[in-house]
């Protein structure tokens, strides 16, 4: 059992609701108890290097999107929590869904850092001087085609993505 899973199982819903309140419309958590330097009424959370909000409850660190799910549904998420709009600090309950890692990856909004294109699924193919659109299906890359412009390649990518990726929100 992972350390994170152990921490989750040790925090009960009753204890969470004694310690904090959660506003599902704003995604904000507020402390209900004073403990150490943390005061009643303080807004919980700090951003990690990836942009996710974290906070400590009873000395244990939690990702706030997972706490929001637990707070609202009374059970820890079975998989990953996806931020539907791609904004990692937007923890409104309507923006969260419990999905597999595969579906979560399908909801990426932009290219990886250092990519040759500003668009997801598009790269510059030096050999032809054209823009290539490709998509990953079941862990394998599939070529969609080569295009004169980045925008044409991205349009083709989106068309295929909307057909094949159930988790896509683009």
Residues 8 and 92 both lie in one domain? yes
Q: Which residue, of 71, 99, 127, is where some domain finishes?
A: 99
Residues 71 and 14 both lie in one domain? yes
When pLDDT is averaged across residues 43-55 and rounded to a whole number, the result is 95
Residues 10 and 92 both lie in one domain? yes
Residues 35 and 76 both lie in one domain? yes
Q: What total number of domains does the chain contain?
A: 2
HEC letters along the chain = CCHHHHHHHHCCHHHHHHHEEEECCCCEEEECCCECCECCCCECCEECCCCCEEEEECCEEEEHHHHHHHHHHCCCCCCEEEECCCCCCCCCHHHEEEECHHHHHHCCCCCCCCCCCCCCCEEEECCCCEEEEEEEECCEEEEEEEECCHHHHHHHHHHHHHHHCCCCCC
**pLDDT tens per residue across span 58-113:** 989 999 999 999 999 999 999 999 998 889 999 999 999 998 877 766 666 565 66
Question: Given pLDDT bands bounded at 50, 70 and 90, which one contains residue 2?
Answer: very low
pLDDT of residue 1: 40
Which domain range does residue 10 map to?
Answer: 3-99
* pTM for the model: 0.70
Residues 94 and 111 both lie in one domain? no
Residues 92 and 33 both lie in one domain? yes
Q: Which residue, of 61, 81, 99, is where some domain finishes?
A: 99
Q: Is residue 170 part of a domain?
A: no
The half-sphere exposure of 40 on its side-chain side, counting CA atoms within 13 A, is 4
We report the CATH number of the domain holding residue 139 as 3.30.730
**pLDDT tens per residue across span 115-128:** 778 788 898 988 98
Residues 88 and 117 both lie in one domain? no
């Amino acid at each position: 059992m992972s350390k994170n899973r152990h921490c989750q199982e040790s925090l009960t819903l009753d204890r969470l609701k004694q310690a904090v309140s959660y506003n599902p419309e704003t995604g904000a958590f507020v402390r209900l108890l004073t403990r150490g330097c943390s005061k009643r009424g303080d807004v919980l959370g700090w951003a990690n290097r990836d942009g996710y909000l974290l906070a400590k409850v009873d000395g244990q660190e939690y990702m706030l999107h997972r706490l929001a799910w637990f707070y609202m549904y009374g059970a820890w998420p079975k998989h990953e929590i996806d931020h539907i709009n791609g904004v990692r600090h937007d923890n409104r309950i309507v923006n969260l869904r419990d999905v597999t890692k595969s579906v979560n990856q399908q909801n990426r909004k932009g290219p990886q850092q250092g990519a040759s294109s500003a668009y997801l699924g598009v790269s510059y193919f030096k050999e032809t001087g054209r823009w290539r659109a490709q998509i990953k299906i079941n862990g394998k890359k599939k070529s969609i085609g080569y295009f004169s412009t980045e925008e044409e390649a991205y349009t083709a990518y989106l068309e295929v993505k909307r057909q094949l990726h159930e988790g896509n929100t683009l």
